[in-house]
Amino acid sequence: MIEAYSHNYLKSLLKKHALIWPHNLTLSRLVARSLRRRDKSFIYVEVTNHDDYWPGILIPLCLNTLGTVLVVSRSQKMRLYQVEIPRLREEGLTLPVWEGPEPPVNGNLWLLDHTHWIKAYEKNYFNERQLIIPEAELFSRRLREAMTIKISSANWDQLRRAYPSLSSKLINLHKTLSQRLFSEAIRPDALLRMHSVDVIELKSVLKDLDYLPEPWLAFYRIDNEKWASWAELNHKLLDWTWYFQPLEPYQMLHKLFLDNPFVFLSGSPLNEFHHLETIFNVKVKLGGPIYKEPIKLFVPFRQPLPNAECFAEHLLDQSRRLILGRQGVTVVILDDDQLLRRLTSELAAEFGKRVIFQSTVLETNGILCCSSSWWLSFQEKCPLPEQLIVALLPFSSLELPLTAARVEAFKKQGLDWFRDLLLPELLSLLPKLVLPVRKNQGRIAILDGRLRSRSWGKKIFTVLEPWSPLDRLLPD
């Protein structure tokens, strides 16, 4: 009966809020069915804005929250408390919510961010609980960030004070690693991939200790084959920090998803979840909004490739043309740090104080230059842009130690690391990067020549739909 009740409540809500995503009716029945049957469900939701489908998730949860865990980001939590739960209250529905890493003592919905989710998993609190995971296409990325282990110089000092007998060994090891890292660095504040022998050598020093404080205990427990590690150098202080992240969190959590019922709500298709694909027993695709206004897309023909000598000049020339005469905010996304800083400086020489680097304080006609990861994290704190310039398609760079380690692991498995790893992640990322400019009915420019010269470029055009081509730059 939960499906029928959810359907009726949503029909009443849709009469008052006509702009709510109409496929919520179907979604609510699917979520309610999964809650009742305890399925392992994958729901591919073609929707421009993930906020649109909250009623379809929350109304079934109002009717049955027992043993259910909802995993949310910080912005999603704010949306729930400020918009969705008050709207449900107006319909006479209550959603009792419990927060924190400890499980609820009653039947409340357990609301967890990704950091607390990991802590609860480590304490085995998810026994038979049902997991609801919105924005599942970002779940692996968010888990990886939540599982990060960070070892700083202060942690080395902490360990030396706890075990004075190991002090000389730890000092010598840290000194050897420091000398090697700074000699290998080709630029200030570099990220350098650590060798597996470094991890093994340090573990051999720690193996006979009775007690290890955090983060050393977490470090000692990692599987070298399943984790990437790198050092972040600080040349000003001649110091460095050691980072560890899992290559593929889903591989490490496979048994959890095998044992527990769950609902994945994803804006990306099923083939991007190859580690879990065989587990799903319900696979559904829901259509997108009935109507979306197309955005203007500027992708000139015969653009140079990123490895061309004239590419930097091409970026400056096209960016200048795109920005001239614009009265709203322009965002320039570029994931090559050196090229980004160069382009930011050149644009500042042209447009002055309007140009800023990775800051949320913008003038009404400001020009924000940033990386894709920064824009993804801070776009909600910035005004809606009138224009988005994608200087380079934001593929994860092989210069990043984590990406290099993941690619290496894919090669060992005989997988196509570009089409099975980098391209799917890009296709998941792009709709979220362009969402603010789509809301503002602005325009998008992509200045990467690979978009038209590579066969996989068609997939990028597809994920950006609906769009209308902008062939010439004319005054408004």
pLDDT tens, 25-84?
Answer: 889 899 999 999 999 999 988 776 777 889 889 999 998 888 999 999 998 999 999 999
DSSP-based three-state secondary structure for 357: strand
pLDDT surpasses 60 at 403 = yes
From the list 102, 104, 112, the residue with the least C-alpha distance to 74 is 112
Are both 2-140+253-286 and 295-469 of the same fold?
A: yes
Q: Could you tell me where the DSSP H helices lie in 268-371?
A: 311-323, 337-351
pLDDT surpasses 70 at 1 = no
Higher pLDDT, 277 or 290: 277
Q: Which CATH class is domain 295-469?
A: alpha beta
Please give the order of strands across the beta sheet that includes 227-234.
149-151, 239-246, 227-234, 191-193
Q: How many CB atoms lie within 10 A of CB 11?
A: 12
Query: Distance (Å, rounded) from C-alpha 7 to C-alpha 93?
Result: 13
Span 428-449, pLDDT tens digits: 899 889 989 998 999 999 999 9
What residues form DSSP beta bridges with 193? 230
Q: Are strands 367-370 and 239-246 parallel, antiparallel or unpaired?
A: unpaired
Higher pLDDT, 10 or 464: 464
Question: Where along the chain do its domains lie?
Answer: 2-140+253-286, 149-246, 295-469
From the candidate CATH numbers 3.30.70.20, 3.40.50.300, 3.40.50.920, 1.10.1520.10, the one assigned to the domain spanning 2-140+253-286: 3.40.50.300
On whether the pTM is more than 0.85, the answer is yes
Q: Could you tell me where the DSSP H helices lie in 123-270?
A: 139-146, 153-162, 167-184, 196-206, 216-221, 249-252, 254-259
